[in-house]
Amino acid sequence: MDEHTGDRGAVMGPEPDPGELIVGRDAELARLFRAVDSVSADPVLMLVGDMGTGKSALLEHAVHRAEAGGARVLRAEGSESESSLAFSALHQLLRPVPAEVDALPGRQRAALQEALGEGAATPGPDLMLVGIAVLSLLSGLGDHHPVLVVLDDAQWLDRASLDALSFVARRLEGEPVTMLIGARGGDHLPGFDRHVPMLTLGSLDKAAADHLLDLQPKSPTGHTRSRILDQAGGNPLALLELASTASAQDTAAGLPSAGPLRLTDHLERIFAARLNSLPASTTRVLLLLAAMDSPDSAIAVSAGLPRAEDAAWLPAEQAGLVRRTGRDVRFRHPLVRSAVYHAASLAARREAHLALAEMLRDEPDRRAWHLAAACPHPDAAASAELERTAGRARRRGGHAAAAQALQRAAELAPQREDSARLLVEAAAAAVFTGDIAWVEELVAAARARTDDATLLASAAVQAGRLAVLTVRHTVVFSRLADDAEQLAVSQPAAGLDLVAGAAVVRFYSGEDTQRHRIQDVLRRLPEKASHAGLRTWVRAVSDPFDDRAQLIRLLPQLATDAEARPERLTAVGIMAWLLDETPQAVRAFDEAFDRWELQGALPEGLGGAVAWAYLERGRWDQAREACARTIAVGRAAGLDHAVACAATVDATVLAFQGDASSARARAEDALVLIDPLESRSVFVYARRALGAAAVAEGAYETAYGELRMVFTVDGAPVHYHASYPALADLAAAAVRCGRREEAVAIVERSASALADNASPRLRALISRARGLLADPDDAEPHFRAALADPVLEYWPFERAQTLLDLAEWLRRRRRIAEARAPLTQALEIFRRLGARPWIERARAESRAAGLDVTDAAPDALAELSPQQQQIIRLAARGLTNREIGEKLFLSPRTVSSHLYRSFPKLGITARSQLRDLIEGALVTAGHQE
């Protein structure tokens, strides 16, 4: 790999010789060495610090350590200009391994090549599949030798690459891959901030700073030394460069004057002063290199810059401005690049950019940015070039790059209306980055440039689409409702879009006053046939129990109208789930996903409904797959609320499967991400998951405490939709910890509130709760009512719980023969689902009823972790390790490791035995309707 030079301030001399001493960083260097020697528990480590603190120097030493140990090193270095080019860092990282990219499975290879601009034109790559492709590639490289991934100046990596690499970083546990990241302190690094351990480089202490100066060829002394120490402030690069300047001048007068200048300004002046003595030919190539600012040597050569061996570079190297290593010429530090660029006149910079644009005709995106940089005034042609660049970026999934290009195109557009249009398009692209502040900035700029009602409405819709997914529910709801009200007459379609978003916020927040506001705004909007679907959405989301029967009658026609529109099918599925029509919801989701490979760019509003529907239907593997995708996308986009929503569903599945500790961790993570008064839905889901985890461990007092929080002090539901499904579990826990009377009041209050609008599912749950809470002589009719409707088979876990409750009641009434049938049914369902705690409870009850419950083969699955169960079920369906990895967002190596550990527990030795072992139990669960 090429040598990188970034932040080398702590190295004694100009060359990154691994034998050189690094002063004052012993602990940090030891920490990096532990990481590359694979003795660290953390596969990812971020090195953060200000400019000149020595990040690149430390990374360089870590690279040499890794290479000496036989590791394969892949590197990418961020740069300001490259940050606007989608997947440029990923392209740089993977350039040395084209054969490995070609060897990836077809779907992964196609997605990765499309992201890198090398594949056939498609609507855009699946961004999650891009991440899986990179993970598979790195894991495959690790089959032969350890792999070290080094990302330097990561604050300048393009957003699309960061999203893919942060996806990979969270899945490196157990892989022979280490990722080291160098980034500026204080800079936001999407996808990495909360989940990666950080090693912070501060200033050198006085002893270390003195020692570093002592080791210089001409160590400064006296007043000069004091001034250097004072001005450098412990920054290693500043110490070296100020000492070098003082040595060259042989006087303290050569140092920058003390004063308010930032340290970076001092250093830039030092570097800029060295330009004065250089030949004109050297100054010209330095400016070209500074204007291009690409760390990729192949790009530099294609841009027509002289090769590293050219004599034009020698004076710059002797002046300490550049470093030549092999085929590469690099600035010694980003501040050198900045000094070279800003020391040139505006005319010279414009000439450099035009020259580069001419040289880069085969690189249209880079060419467009250079043309833009050469424009001192609005320019329609340059604006159009950038608009085309944005189109290419969007097709490759580079939404941040597209938004940046469109924003700059708007600045260059001569006409205000064109500028406003481009800004709205930029906002639409920026929505997919999750950066709400950026979207709002773009929307505000568009509003300042136009009075066009259509554009303004579009701008409001774009801002609202992302705002819905943030945690600021109260503020966002007010803004969406206000904007919808203003647009009700002039732009009713846009107004209805905003109300639809407001309804989603109402669901998340659970605030009842918002329902009344939605109804008021909806009445002001004219009713049109074309708006029927969206109006139904608003009604179903904001109040699914208001005239539920009429809403259900509308679903079949909405599903028919949506047949060719997967995104509309998904909306129909969400509405069906809200109305407790889970079978119809799952059918809609299945059909939508058959027609539409999700792009994963942004979680849609109420996307958690997909996972909940699969969970309720008994398809727990698919529920967890949906959660994994939403969590991955939400984290990459910085959308904490989307992550929290998915985490609560995942926590619930884990609790049902018996992994109580993991369930608690997921639920508590979700609670940390939200304000319970702003996000009542997530609060309730998290408490339900924590209650289920406690039940799984037999801690019924704890379970009751968690589930009691799903209802207010006076027994009303905390959330108008999410609280009701907890009624039966609340009753079950109450009976076991002596809270029967309080639970009765809550159940009856909810039953009265729902009245005739309760779904068959909720009626069954209320009947089960009443059976549990009733006097023993009065319980049977309630249990029978809870099982009476055949449609309840579509909620298998809830049905099995009721069957078990009935069987326990029958056995305690000494009706043992009658208890055996429901016990057998319940045990079969629990086994099929992999609900380990309930399997054990049903087996114990079955033995007490005289049933032979010798462990069947599928029961061995209960000894596996939930993730291992998922992998086993998919392997039993014939999926390869790579295919399983794509579904579960794991590397093939991780899948293989889980299978290896699972086979002995299952009593098998070959993959071919899986299907026979669990056919009729696990496979049936995966396909049951």
How does pLDDT run across 561-571, given as a tens digit for each residue? 888 788 888 89
Range of the structural domain that residue 221 is part of = 206-255
pLDDT digits over 770-811, tens only? 999 999 999 999 999 999 998 899 999 999 999 999 999 999
Least confident segment among 296-300, 312-316, 574-578, 909-913:
296-300
Cα dihedral 330, 335, 339, 342 sign:
positive
- State the pLDDT confidence band at 370, using cuts at 50, 70 and 90: very high
Confidence at residue 115, expressed as pLDDT on a 0 to 100 scale: 87
Confidence at residue 543, expressed as pLDDT on a 0 to 100 scale: 93
Confidence at residue 217, expressed as pLDDT on a 0 to 100 scale: 84
The DSSP string of 833-888 is HT-HHHHHHHHHHHHHTT---PPPGGGGGGGS-HHHHHHHHHHHTT--HHHHHHHH
Confidence at residue 120, expressed as pLDDT on a 0 to 100 scale: 60
Contact 331, 289 (CB under 8 A): yes
| 219 token code pair | 């160590």
Confidence at residue 857, expressed as pLDDT on a 0 to 100 scale: 46
Question: In this model, does residue 199 exceed pLDDT 50?
Answer: yes
Same domain for 193 and 222: no
Q: Would strands 44-49 and 328-331 be described as parallel, antiparallel, or unpaired?
A: unpaired
Q: Is position 388 within any domain?
A: no
Residue 49's beta-bridge partner residues? 184, 201
Confidence at residue 12, expressed as pLDDT on a 0 to 100 scale: 31
Confidence at residue 297, expressed as pLDDT on a 0 to 100 scale: 57
Question: In this model, does residue 927 exceed pLDDT 60?
Answer: no
Question: In this model, does residue 433 exceed pLDDT 70?
Answer: yes
Q: Helix, strand, or coil here: 198?
A: strand
- In a 13 Å sphere around the CA of 474, the CA atoms on its Cβ side amount to 7
Helix extents (H) in 218-345: 222-232, 236-249, 263-273, 280-292, 297-302, 314-318, 334-343
Query: HEC profile for 714-726?
Result: CCCECCCCCCHHH
Q: Is position 123 within any domain?
A: yes
Same domain for 194 and 182: yes
CA distances from 304 to 288, 300, 312, 825, 900 (A): 10, 7, 13, 75, 53
Confidence at residue 295, expressed as pLDDT on a 0 to 100 scale: 60
Q: Is position 4 within any domain?
A: no
pLDDT digits over 697-756, tens only? 999 999 999 999 999 999 999 999 999 999 999 999 999 999 999 999 999 999 999 988
Candidates 835, 748, 761, 824; CA nearest to 791 is: 761
Same domain for 755 and 727: yes
Contact 914, 908 (CB under 8 A): yes
The DSSP string of 712-774 is -TTS-BSSTTTSGGGHHHHHHHHHHTT-HHHHHHHHHHHHHHHGGG--HHHHHHHHHHHHHHS
Mean pLDDT of 910-923: 67
Cα–Cα dist 749/770, whole Å: 12
Question: In this model, does residue 7 exceed pLDDT 50?
Answer: no
Q: Is position 896 within any domain?
A: yes
Question: In this model, does residue 185 exceed pLDDT 80?
Answer: no
CB atoms within 10 A of CB 901: 12
Same domain for 99 and 176: yes
Question: In this model, does residue 15 exceed pLDDT 70?
Answer: no
CA distances from 520 to 497, 499, 532, 638 (A): 15, 10, 17, 33
Q: Is position 840 within any domain?
A: yes
Cβ within 8 Å of residue 712, ≥6 positions away: 718
Residue 329's beta-bridge partner residues? 324
Percent of the chain with pLDDT over 70: 89
| 15 token code pair | 């060359």
CATH number at residue 125: 3.40.50.300
pLDDT digits over 599-643, tens only? 445 556 677 899 999 999 999 988 998 898 888 888 877 788 989
Confidence at residue 9, expressed as pLDDT on a 0 to 100 scale: 36
Element (H, E) at 76: strand 72-77
Boundary of a domain, candidates 808, 829, 854: 854
Confidence at residue 255, expressed as pLDDT on a 0 to 100 scale: 54
Same domain for 139 and 91: yes
**Selected residue with higher pLDDT from 417 and 468:** 417
Cα–Cα dist 189/728, whole Å: 44
Same domain for 221 and 79: no
Same domain for 844 and 828: yes
Same domain for 195 and 123: yes
Mean pLDDT of 292-321: 78
CA end-to-end distance (rounded Å), the chain: 54
Element (H, E) at 346: helix 346-359
Mean pLDDT of 347-360: 91
- State the pLDDT confidence band at 2, using cuts at 50, 70 and 90: very low
Q: Would strands 322-325 and 328-331 be described as parallel, antiparallel, or unpaired?
A: antiparallel
Confidence at residue 596, expressed as pLDDT on a 0 to 100 scale: 58
Mean pLDDT of 823-837: 92
Q: Is position 721 within any domain?
A: yes
Question: In this model, does residue 18 exceed pLDDT 60?
Answer: no
Q: Is position 298 within any domain?
A: no
| E strand residue ranges, 303-452 | 322-325, 328-331
Q: Is position 753 within any domain?
A: yes
Cα–Cα dist 458/494, whole Å: 7
Computed over every residue of the chain, the mean pLDDT equals 86
Confidence at residue 181, expressed as pLDDT on a 0 to 100 scale: 95
Q: Among 104-108, 190-194, 281-285, name the most confident range.
A: 281-285
Confidence at residue 39, expressed as pLDDT on a 0 to 100 scale: 66
Confidence at residue 3, expressed as pLDDT on a 0 to 100 scale: 34
Mean pLDDT of 52-56: 88
CA angle 746, 750, 754 (to 5 degrees): 175
Cα dihedral 442, 444, 447, 448 sign:
negative
- Give the residue carrying structure tokens 């109260």: 474
pLDDT digits over 505-523, tens only? 999 999 999 999 999 999 9
Same domain for 94 and 227: no
pLDDT digits over 642-666, tens only? 899 999 999 999 999 999 999 999 9
Cα–Cα dist 57/239, whole Å: 15
Boundary of a domain, candidates 828, 854, 880: 854
Cα–Cα dist 763/721, whole Å: 14
Candidates 434, 453, 454, 456; CA nearest to 445 is: 456
Question: In this model, does residue 503 exceed pLDDT 70?
Answer: yes
In this structure, which amino acid lies at residue 220?
P
Percent of the chain with pLDDT over 90: 52
Mean pLDDT of 578-593: 92
Cα–Cα dist 146/142, whole Å: 5
How many domains does the chain fold into? 6
CB burial of 832-860 (b: ≥16 within 10 Å; e: otherwise) equals bbbbbbbbbbbbebbeebebebeeeebbb
Cα dihedral 758, 759, 761, 764 sign:
positive
Same domain for 141 and 41: yes
**Selected residue with higher pLDDT from 264 and 448:** 448
Contact 352, 287 (CB under 8 A): yes
| 206 token code pair | 């006085």
Boundary of a domain, candidates 780, 812, 838: 780
Query: HEC profile for 500-531?
Result: HHHHHHHHHHCCHHHHHHHHHHHHHCCCCHHH
Contact 679, 718 (CB under 8 A): no
Stated pTM of the model: 0.78
Confidence at residue 713, expressed as pLDDT on a 0 to 100 scale: 95
- State the pLDDT confidence band at 95, using cuts at 50, 70 and 90: very high
CATH number at residue 864: 1.10.10.10
**Selected residue with higher pLDDT from 122 and 214:** 214
Same domain for 166 and 226: no
Candidates 246, 295, 287; CA nearest to 374 is: 287
Contact 287, 340 (CB under 8 A): yes
Same domain for 123 and 54: yes
Contact 558, 533 (CB under 8 A): yes
